[in-house]
């Protein structure tokens, strides 16, 4: 705990000392009353912040997901004292005239997973004559996962090529899949599956029998290395590529290394990818052994 008295404390103590000396020479009883008041003011003003900072209860809640460099709401419930809460890491400094509940804007400087927040609580209540502060750990109701900020780094032409090879525009392809064969219409078949041209040629209604669409896989290998900033940059690029792949309609796999070991997950959303990258740690990531079978592989590393 740190204690920083203001100059007013010394001024008041000097004043009370002078009044006490005067009371001991002039016999004025009122001076003793005033000394009692001023000393009590100093006593309450210096002891209360210390008690306040010890007894202040702090609860915090954060959203489950956030993105590096982007503000997210942080909720505080402050008990008892009027305090200033500082979370240097998240660029948070709020003054709460407690007991109070409210929220502020926080910004995570890098990706990661936080189950607790390290904050400094400073209290000067009730008079502001002294500031007592201490470091506290505030457990979060649920963990905060901060994803890297996505960076567009892959040449978009490559992904476009991949889309072209997917054959969407080839003959026999529909939005629902590729036409494998035709069959006679039975009641209950959707009308939009009727192949009108073939039906006209055949004389009876024929419906299209579809195969699922063939989509190319994109494997993003995020291999983090180097210092925190370098890792952050790699993760951001990886997330950018995943996002591009998802927007292009590819099946995207994200390969990372986490504390549990290798993590290979098919990701369906950028949020999912961001969470995986938030958990990613530096270390070598095994590449796919047969790239042609696995799909298109993009390795993101230093």
Residues that bind another protein (CB under 8 A): 8, 11-12, 15, 19-20, 22-41, 43-45, 48, 59, 61, 73, 75-78, 82-84, 92-105, 124-129, 141-142
Q: Which residue's CB is nearer to another protein, number 63 or number 227?
A: 63
Sequence-separated (6 or more) residues with CB below 8 Å from residue 133: 1, 2, 4, 53, 120, 121, 122, 123
Nearer Cβ to another protein, position 15 or 136?
Answer: 15
Kindly state the smallest distance separating residue 66's Cβ from another protein, in Å.
14
Nearest to 128 by CA among 55, 51, 42, 58: 42
Residue number with CB closer to another protein (100 or 163) = 100
Please give the DSSP secondary-structure letter assigned to residue 108. -
Q: Are 245 and 158 spatial neighbours (Cβ–Cβ below 8 Å)?
A: no
Provide the 8-state DSSP code for 278. Answer: H
CB 139, min distance to another protein, A:
11
Smallest distance from the beta carbon of 13 to another protein, in angstroms?
A: 12
In the complex, least distance from residue 203 CB atom to another protein, rounded to whole angstroms: 37
Nearer to another protein, 145 or 244 (CB): 145
H or E element that contains 152: none
The number of residues making up the chain comes to 302
For the CB of residue 291, give the shortest distance to another protein in the complex, in Å: 35
Contacts of 232 (CB under 8 A, 6+ apart): 68, 110, 111, 148
Relative orientation angle of helices 29-55 and 7-26, to the nearest 10 degrees: 150
> Please, which residue, 13 or 182, has the CB nearer to another protein?
13
- Min dist CB 293 to another protein, Å, is 32
Shortest Å, Cβ 135 to another protein: 18
Q: Which of 39, 54, 80, 42 is nearest to 132 (CA)?
A: 54
Half-sphere CA count of 180, side-chain side, radius 13 A: 8
Q: What angle do CA 22, 25, 31 make, to 5 degrees?
A: 40
Give dist(CA 232, CA 251) in Å, integer. 24
Q: Give 22 or 50: the residue with its C-beta nearer to another protein.
A: 22
Please compute Rg for the chain using Cα positions.
33
Please, which residue, 74 or 222, has the CB nearer to another protein? 74
Rounded least distance, CB 192 to another protein, Å: 24
Cα gap 102→99, rounded to integer Å:
10
Do 72 and 62 form a contact (C-beta atoms < 8 A)? yes
Q: Which is nearer to another protein, 105 or 170 (CB)?
A: 105
H or E stretch covering 19: helix 7-26
């Amino acid at each position: 705990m740190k204690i920083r008295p203001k100059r007013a404390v010394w001024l008041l103590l000097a004043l009370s000392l002078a009044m006490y000396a005067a009371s001991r020479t002039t016999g004025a009883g009122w001076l003793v009353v005033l000394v009692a008041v001023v000393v009590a003011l100093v006593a309450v003003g210096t002891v209360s912040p210390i008690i306040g900072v010890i007894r202040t209860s702090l609860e915090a809640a954060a959203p489950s997901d956030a993105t590096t460099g982007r503000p997210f709401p942080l909720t505080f419930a402050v008990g008892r004292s009027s305090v200033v809460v500082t979370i240097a890491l998240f660029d948070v400094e709020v003054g709460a005239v407690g007991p109070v509940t409210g929220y502020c804007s926080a910004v995570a400087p890098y990706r990661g997973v936080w189950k607790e927040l390290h904050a400094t609580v400073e209290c000067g209540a009730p008079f502001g004559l002294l500031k007592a502060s201490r470091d506290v750990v505030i457990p979060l109701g649920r963990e905060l996962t901060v994803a890297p900020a996505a960076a567009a780094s892959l040449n978009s032409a490559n992904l476009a090529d991949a889309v072209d090879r997917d054959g969407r525009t080839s003959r026999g392809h529909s939005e629902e899949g590729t036409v494998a064969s035709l069959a006679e219409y039975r009641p209950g078949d959707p009308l939009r599956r009727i192949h009108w041209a073939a039906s006209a040629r055949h004389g009876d209604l024929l419906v299209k029998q579809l195969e699922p669409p063939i989509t190319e896989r994109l494997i993003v290998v995020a291999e983090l290395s180097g210092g925190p900033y370098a890792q952050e940059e790699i993760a951001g690029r990886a997330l950018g590529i995943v996002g591009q792949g998802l927007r292009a309609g590819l099946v995207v796999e994200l390969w990372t290394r986490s504390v549990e070991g290798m993590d290979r997950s098919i990701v369906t959303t950028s949020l999912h990818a961001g969470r995986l990258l938030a958990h990613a740690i530096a270390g070598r990531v095994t590449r796919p052994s047969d790239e042609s079978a696995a799909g298109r592989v993009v390795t993101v590393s230093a």
